Amino acid sequence: SASFSKIDYAVTTATGLTGGSVSADATAQYQDQVTITATPAVGYKLDAITVKDASNNAVAVTNGKFTMPASAVNVTASFSPTGYVENGQVYGDWVVTSDYTIAEGETLVIPAGTTVTTYGGAVIINNGTLKVEDEISGVTLAGDGVFNYTTLDKYDVTFGTATYNGSAITIGNGLDVTYATKTFCGKTFTFDAESCTITYTNNVNASVGTRYAVVTWDFSGNTATKEFAILKRELNLTGFIANNKNYDGTTQATGSFSDDRIAGDELEFNYKCAFEDENVGTGKNVSFYRIEIDGGADADNYELVTTEGSASANINKAPLTIKANDFTINVGDEMPTFTVEYDGFVAAQNVEVLSTLPTVGVDITETSVAGTYDIIVSGAVADSYEITYINGTLTINPATATAIDEVASADVKIYSRGNIIVVENADSPIEVFDISGKRVERQSEILSRVEIPMSDRGVFVVRTGNTSQKVIVK
């Protein structure tokens, strides 16, 4: 009989590799899965793992593993730097494993997005220039030279917002600035007015809006344009004044107010103004509302703190004139019905707003005496009107000649008997006039026969209806 056992084949790993190391189990049997460990050194990355059999044929490696052939194998790996310096510029992710010196007249540029770390070495600036275009960390800097850190310019100066003040907006005159202190690669930079020059670029005193300033950093020579905002100035309204008015049946009011605009600025307003109600009264509330800035050269530079206000004013009674109309009659005529005219009603109002209508009349009850008499108007009452009265004139003219001409009638008999005037068959009131036209007697009762005693003697004219006749009283 015979006995057999699997053969252990040698796995030889390379040593002394540049940029890393490789390891695996020392032996393996045919068809075993062998795991390879490849470890890059600091600043290097793994490029490839290579396995060859005893005949120098390549053995496939997948995900750091290979299948053991029926022979010994040799395992090696290749590594390359993660970053490097060429022509004064860093490429890739550079690890400084030994000192790197920037001599006078030389410049080392570390571009944006580059990772640089020091591991066993340092960047020594020996009167040269180091220019860093982005944030880096973990780097040890040594020596003296020019530090041109572009990345710091992004964080060093911050402008606040300014409020329109009618003059140039500058640092200390309406505009705040914040200077940052930053530590970079072991060096501390303090930004202040001495390390930064600020130049304003556009219209900083003209109006509200986005404005710009150029910041120049003395330590780097870099510049950046930074923006800041000029905000609208708050406008406070004060000193509301409402005007008194006469009653007009509406709540409409007028008034004015003051504000705290910058002297010389031009603003125009639109607003509503109204009394609390339309009634007559003193110390009535007047509301200002829907106030808005709607014009003026400086309108866009302000915003209202409030859009309303209030004041007080009086609504006085409106003037109303009531005038008695003039009338003219003759002696003996009936007393007319007196009328008046109104001047001053507002809002299409009329006599219906009078709680008491005026009275109008004269101081006489008979029209027997020619002359002029006042037609007196008074007594009207209205809550909303201050009433002025104008009297009229009643003119009573003497009886005219026509009034005493004799007009005969076949039915009416007029004659005298001594000191008595007799009228028969009268069909109307009887009036007796002297020769001047003055009425001296009147008999209203209509009878078939009327006797009128006369105290005076002389010629009289008796009239009834359309009949008139002279009689002599002895």
Q: Tens of pLDDT along 134-146?
A: 767 777 777 766 6
pLDDT value, residue 156: 81
pLDDT value, residue 404: 45
Q: For the chain, give the secondary structure using H, E and C.
A: CCCCCCCEEEEEECCCCCCEEEECCCEEECCCEEECEEEECCCEEEEEEEEEECCCCEECCECCEEECCCCCEEEEEEEEECEEEECCEEEECEEECCCEEECCCCEEEECCCCCEEECCCCEEEEEEEEEECCCCCCCCEEEEEEEEEHHHHHCCEEECCEECCCCCCEECEEECEEECEEEECCEEEECCCCCEEEEECCCCCCCCEEEEEEEEECCCCCEEEEEEEEECEEECEEEEEECCEECCCCCECCEEEEECCCCCCCCEEEEEEEECCCCCEEEEEEEEEEEEEEECCCHHHEEECCCCEEEEEEEECEEEEEEECCEEEECCCCCCCCCEEEECCCCCCCHHHCCECCEEECCCCCCCCCEEEEEEEECCECCCEEEEEECEEEEEECCCHHHHCCECCCCCEEEEECCEEEEECCCCCEEEEECCCCEEEEECCCCCEEEEECCCCEEEEEEECCEEEEEEEC
Mean pLDDT by 10 residues, the chain (474 residues): 88 95 96 96 93 96 96 96 92 89 90 83 84 75 71 79 85 86 74 84 71 82 86 96 97 97 94 97 98 95 96 98 95 89 96 96 86 95 96 84 54 89 91 83 88 89 88 88
pTM metric for this prediction: 0.58
pLDDT value, residue 399: 61
pLDDT value, residue 170: 83
